[in-house]
Each structure stands twice: as C-alpha cells, then as structure tokens.
C-alpha cells in the first residue's frame, strides 16, 4: 500500500456495522480510522443511565448468536467471544393476543407446539412454515425478494388470527405490515431474531459496541469520537478522503459510510458528485418508520409479569389497520406495543411511529408518555403507581442521536421494490466508496448490519489483494 494516504480506510460512523467493518479491516493490517459524531460507540445499539436506572436506548435484544450464526461467528473470528457475557432469556418473546398467549421459546419445537396447541387445525402447516424458515438461505432466500410476507402466509395458512400473530413481530421489527414487506426481510426476522433471539449482553447492549471498539483499537485502528464527517472528498469519480466538522482533512484510499444514505449522498458527497440518477432515486425512496420509546424506572414491585422476556401487547388482529393508523400519524390511537421489564427494574416500551415534525413531538411527548403508560396497564397492572422515573425518545431524539434520516429505525423500508437497489448496496458508482449498515437496502438489525460490516470488509480486502 502506498504511503500517499493518511489512512488506507476511513469509516464514517461507529454503529455496529462500522465497528465490525473496522475490526476486520484493521485485523487485516489496513491502517483504519473510524470517525463518529457522538462521544461514544454504538449508534442505535447503545445504553444510558438516568434516574438511577440503566436503559438500552433502542436495541433491547440480540439475535444470530447460535453456533454458526452471524454474530457468533464474528465474535469468534475477532476473538472476543469470551469478552461478551450474554444471557439468553427463555421465552425470548411472549405475544399476548385477545384470546390466547403465544411464546417463542429457545427450543423451536416447544414454540411450534405452542402454536399448534392454539391452532390445532393448522398444525401441519405450522410445522412446515417454521421448518421452511429455518432452512431458508442462499438462492432460496433471495428468490423471495419480490414475494410479500402476506403472499407467503397465504400459501401456508387459513386462520386470520394465526397470520396476524405471525405478522406482529415483523411489523414491530421492521415497521411494515405483511402486505408491504419483502419476505427476505420477514424470513430473516424470524430465522435470525425470533427463533434465534432473546440474547441480552449482561449489563446492557452497550457492552457489544464497547468490546468491538476496544478490539478495533487493539488491531491498531484509530477512533475519533465527537468527530462528525462533514464532507467526503471525491475527485474524478474517486474517493480522496474525508473532511470533519472541525475542518480536519484525512486522506484515504477507501471510504466506507455506515451512516444514512441521504446524508452520505446529499450532504457529504453533494448532488454533482453523487450524480442525477442517485439524486432522483433518493427522492423516491421511503425510509422505514421511526419509534416512540418509553424508558420507565419502576419500584421493583410489578407483580405477575415475566421479567426479561419481550412482551408484545396485541389488542386485535387487524395489522393493516395498525399500520394505516401509524402512517396517518394517529399516534394516540395505536394500541399495540412491545415492552421488556428488565431484572434491574427498568421498563422499555416502543411502538413504530412516523417522523411527523419537530413541533408535533415537542407539543405531544409528555402527553403521549402518560397515554402509553395507561395503555401499558393492560399488561402491567397498576403500572402508574410503580413508576419512579419516566422519559421518552421520539423520532426527533433518534434523528439527533444518530442522524438517521427521519429517525428511521431500520434504514430504508424493506419493501420488495426497495430491496438491493443499485447505488444503495455496498458497492457504489464512486471508486473506492462503499456503504454498509442498515441503509444499504439489504439487511437490518444488529445481526444484519454486523453481517454487512464483515461482508463490506471482505469486498475491500478482495479488491486490495487483486491489485
Ligand atoms: C427503537 C428501536 C429498537 C430496535 N431494536 C432492535 C433490537 O432489539 N435488536 C436488533 O438487532 N435491532 C434493533 N433495532 C435496529 C438496529 O438498532 C439497527 O438496525 C442497527 O443498530 C443499525 O446499525 P448501523 O451500524 O447500521 O447504524 P447506526 O446504529 O445508525 O450507526 C450509525 C452511526 O453513525 C454516526 N454518524 C451519523 N452521522 C455521522 C457523521 N456525519 N459523522 C460521523 N458519524 C456519524 C451515528 O452517530 C451512529 O453512531 C432497533 C432500532 C430501533 C430504532
């Protein structure tokens, strides 16, 4: 490698994807820098302390940690498996529907029989569905790109309540109803998160980001925190380096952006260098929904609620209606939610919401906190009497924290037409510019972006060795 550059690779963003990518590049011997606008690593996978309670900001559990799962493999390859202490909660998820409760156990057979007991007429189809999901990978998985999850559910099942209860985790974990989501994403949510999920780093999810950041440094990488990238320097269609908000300029051979694609192309690269094609695509693409998140500190006396499992409240079976109310911004009327009461008595709840605008959240945040506490009493009786601390994050908070476009939770909405869009995958039309993370129109969630971080580094290292 020539000495012309300050760094051989610069990564923008120390979320999980940027950190994983950085670890592999630095491990391979590339002089690598990560610039992160926040004071610490993690992006959405971060935690904080307030009012004496520890809260996970967004990510509340991890998947893909089975032997051979993406995250497990990455931890092993980076030799940090022993550092991350993880507890797998069992059941990982509990869905409380109007006339039944279903559990996602660590043992898939137990989960299948839970479903079969509730829907005996669909018994055989349930087994076939979960078997198919578990074995679905490679070409079979990619062939589902244009198939909506609704089409898939209709192939297997007749019972509308069964289809709805299988759709709720997809709505919660991707922000789309079955009629709109690509089955690639829906199958991955099931395979990598619902059937191989419920893993929580001991302490908080921040541990994962901290361990990756430390490992990156051990491999010789530099991380500059509180250091926002302001401009990606490009000349004659080729990456030159990055300029920071403090006006420092660092040259590099490769530039990897793990931040949202709108900022990357519109603000950091600019319209001229990005090209008309990308600009017009950007105007058409839809981000995923954002989230309204409650952080509640409780007195530890909430009774009859299972701790550490994710509990879903499903008040009815009309998932399209939930989605329609959401996109119409009728946040008061939404009546489902996802929650997790931790052993340390902190209670996390979230619901998908649209970005709306800053004024709406300023005017309504406090009111919505109390409205949602009230809704949560369906699952957590007398909740309001047990709260010691309460606060919330709105789409504005998420946007300010990570600069994710419109506070989107999962990058681009994973509709069939927005899966693997040219210019928005890892390779770009600009020489030596790569994208990684949940704005790549490929994968999402910690497991998905960790996979992408590793895969992006592979693409760069392959190019390096070919030269
Ligand atoms: C409410 C909520 C709940 C979720 N729950 C889960 C869950 O339980 N499990 C799960 O697996 N996934 C969950 N997800 C999804 C998951 O958090 C994301 O898909 C994943 O963490 C995205 O990682 P990333 O590295 O692609 O991007 P990010 O986490 O967005 O990281 C990008 C980083 O880039 C930095 N940055 C932005 N602009 C600049 C700039 N100009 N210069 C320098 N740095 C910059 C940001 O500060 C940030 O640190 C959840 C998301 C939300 C919002």
Ligand 1 atom 31, closest CA: 15
Closest alpha carbon to 447 in 76, 72, 18: 72
Closest alpha carbon to 291 in 209, 147, 398: 398
182 and 71 Cβ atoms separated by less than 8 Å: no
438 and 411 Cβ atoms separated by less than 8 Å: yes
For a ligand 1 pocket test, name from 445, 450, 456 the mutation site with the most ligand atoms within 8 angstroms of its C-beta.
445
Q: How far is the CA of 292 from the centre of ligand 1 (A)?
A: 15
The DSSP-derived string for 316-334 is -S-HHHHHHHHHTT-GGG-
Tell me the C-alpha distance between 450 and 440, whole Å.
12
Q: SS3 helix, strand, coil % of the chain, rounded to 5? A: 40, 20, 35
Q: Tell me, what's the pLDDT at 1?
A: 46
DSSP 8-state secondary structure symbol assigned to residue 419 = S
**Ligand 1 atom at shortest distance from the alpha carbon of 229:** 42
Helix, strand, or coil (residue 78): coil
Q: How far is the CA of 110 from the centre of ligand 1 (A)?
A: 32
pLDDT for 67 beyond 60 = yes
Ligand 1 atom 26, closest CA: 437
Closest alpha carbon to 26 in 43, 7, 4: 7
Look up residue 83 and give its two tokens.
């550092």
Ligand 1 atom 22, closest CA: 438
**Ligand 1 atom at shortest distance from the alpha carbon of 38:** 47
Closest alpha carbon to 80 in 200, 209, 198, 197: 209
Ligand 1 atom 15, closest CA: 445
For a ligand 1 pocket test, name from 33, 58, 257, 407 the mutation site with the most ligand atoms within 8 angstroms of its C-beta.
58
Split at pLDDT 50, 70, 90, the class of 70 is: very high
The residues spanned by each domain of the chain are 7-47+203-286+410-466, 90-194, 289-402
For a ligand 1 pocket test, name from 14, 15, 198 the mutation site with the most ligand atoms within 8 angstroms of its C-beta.
15
* Residue 217 host element (H or E): helix 206-218
Q: How far is the CA of 203 from the centre of ligand 1 (A)?
A: 19
Encode pLDDT of 282-338 as tens digits.
999 999 999 999 999 999 999 889 999 999 999 999 999 999 999 999 999 999 999
Q: How far is the CA of 356 from the centre of ligand 1 (A)?
A: 20
* Residue 154 host element (H or E): helix 149-156
Cβ count near 175 (within 10 Å): 26
Ligand 1 atom 42, closest CA: 228
Q: Tell me, what's the pLDDT at 3?
A: 56
Encode pLDDT of 115-160 as tens digits.
999 999 999 999 999 999 999 999 999 999 999 999 999 999 999 9
Ligand 1 atom 16, closest CA: 445
Q: How far is the CA of 212 from the centre of ligand 1 (A)?
A: 15
Ligand 1 atom 53, closest CA: 409
- Residue range 243-247: average pLDDT? 97
Ligand 1 atom 32, closest CA: 15
* Residue 70 host element (H or E): helix 70-77
Ligand 1 atom 18, closest CA: 445
For a ligand 1 pocket test, name from 41, 43, 64, 339 the mutation site with the most ligand atoms within 8 angstroms of its C-beta.
43
Q: How far is the CA of 44 from the centre of ligand 1 (A)?
A: 4
Closest alpha carbon to 34 in 17, 5, 11: 11
* Residue 348 host element (H or E): strand 346-353
C-alpha dihedral, 33 to 35 to 36 to 39, nearest 10°: 80
Encode pLDDT of 362-372 as tens digits.
999 999 999 99
Q: How far is the CA of 410 from the centre of ligand 1 (A)?
A: 8
- Just give the CATH number of 7-47+203-286+410-466: 3.50.50.60
108 and 134 Cβ atoms separated by less than 8 Å: yes
Cβ count near 343 (within 10 Å): 11
Top CATH class of 90-194 equals: mainly alpha
| Per-chain mean pLDDT for the chain | 97
Helix, strand, or coil (residue 414): coil
Residue 155 Cα to chain centre, angstroms: 28
pLDDT for 2 beyond 60 = no
Closest alpha carbon to 24 in 291, 215, 239, 223: 215
Q: Tell me, what's the pLDDT at 428?
A: 96
Encode pLDDT of 379-438 as tens digits.
999 999 999 999 999 999 999 999 999 999 999 999 999 999 999 999 999 999 999 999
Give the angle subtended at the CA of 211 by the CAs of 69 and 80, to the nearest 5°. Answer: 50
Closest alpha carbon to 228 in 250, 210, 213, 243: 243
Half-sphere exposure of 277 (CA within 13 A, CB side): 7
* Residue 216 host element (H or E): helix 206-218
Residues in contact with ligand 1 by the CB-under-6-Å rule are: 12-18, 35-38, 43-45, 58-62, 228-229, 258-259, 263, 291, 293, 350, 398, 402-404, 409-410, 437-438, 444-447, 449
DSSP 8-state secondary structure symbol assigned to residue 62 = B
Closest alpha carbon to 364 in 395, 402, 385: 395
Give the angle subtended at the CA of 121 by the CAs of 120 and 127, to the nearest 5°. Answer: 70
Encode pLDDT of 18-63 as tens digits.
999 999 999 999 999 999 999 999 999 999 999 999 999 999 999 9
Q: How far is the CA of 15 from the centre of ligand 1 (A)?
A: 6
Q: Tell me, what's the pLDDT at 467?
A: 80
Encode pLDDT of 351-364 as tens digits.
999 999 999 999 99
């Amino acid at each position: 490698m020539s000495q012309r550059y300050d760094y051989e690779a610069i990564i923008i963003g120390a979320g999980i994807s940027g950190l994983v990518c950085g670890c592999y590049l630095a491990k391979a011997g590339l002089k690598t820098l990560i610039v992160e606008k926040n004071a610490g690593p993690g992006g959405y996978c971060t935690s904080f302390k307030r009012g004496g309670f520890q809260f996970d900001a967004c990510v509340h559990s991890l998947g893909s940690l089975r032997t051979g799962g993406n995250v497990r493999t990455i931890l092993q390859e980076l030799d940090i498996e022993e550092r991350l202490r993880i507890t797998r909660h069992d059941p990982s998820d509990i869905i409380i529907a109007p006339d039944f409760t279903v559990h996602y156990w660590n043992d898939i057979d137990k989960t299948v029989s839970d479903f079969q007991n509730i829907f005996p007429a669909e018994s055989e189809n349930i087994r076939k569905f979960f078997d198919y999901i578990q074995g679905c990978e490679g070409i079979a998985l990619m062939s589902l790109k244009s198939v909506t999850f609704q089409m898939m559910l209709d192939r297997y099942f007749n019972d509308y309540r069964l289809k709805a209860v299988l759709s709720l985790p997809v709505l919660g974990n991707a922000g789309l109803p079955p009629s709109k989501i690509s089955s690639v994403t829906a199958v991955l949510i099931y395979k990598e998160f619902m059937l191989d999920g419920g893993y929580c780093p001991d302490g908080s999810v921040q541990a994962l980001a901290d361990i990756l950041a430390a490992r990156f440094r051990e491999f010789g990488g530099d991380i500059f925190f509180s250091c926002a990238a302001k401009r990606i320097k490009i000349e004659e269609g080729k990456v030159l380096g990055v300029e920071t908000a403090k006006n420092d300029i660092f040259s590099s051979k490769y530039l990897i952006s793990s931040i949202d694609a709108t900022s990357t192309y519109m603000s950091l690269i600019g319209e001229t260098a990005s090209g008309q094609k990308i600009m017009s695509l950007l105007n058409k693409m839809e981000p995923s929904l954002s989230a309204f998140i409650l952080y509640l500190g409780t007195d530890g006396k909430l009774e009859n609620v299972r701790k550490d499992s994710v509990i879903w409240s499903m008040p009815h079976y009309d998932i399209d209606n939930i989605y329609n109310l959401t996109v119409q911004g009728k946040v008061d009327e939404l009546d489902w939610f996802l929650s997790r009461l931790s052993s340390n008595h902190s209670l996390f709840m979230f619901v998908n919401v649209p970005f709306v605008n800053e004024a709406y959240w300023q005017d309504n945040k406090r009111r919505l906190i109390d409205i949602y506490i009230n809704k949560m009493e369906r699952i957590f009786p007398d909740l309001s009497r047990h709260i010691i601390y309460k606060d919330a994050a709105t789409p504005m908070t998420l946007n300010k924290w990570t600069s994710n476009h419109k506070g989107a939770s999962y990058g681009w909405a994973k509709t069939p037409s927005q899966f693997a869009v040219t210019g928005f995958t890892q390779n770009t039309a600009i020489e030596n510019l790569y994208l990684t993370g949940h704005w790549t129109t490929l994968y999402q969630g910690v497991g998905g972006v960790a996979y992408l971080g590793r895969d992006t580094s592979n693409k760069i290292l392959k190019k390096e060795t070919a030269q």
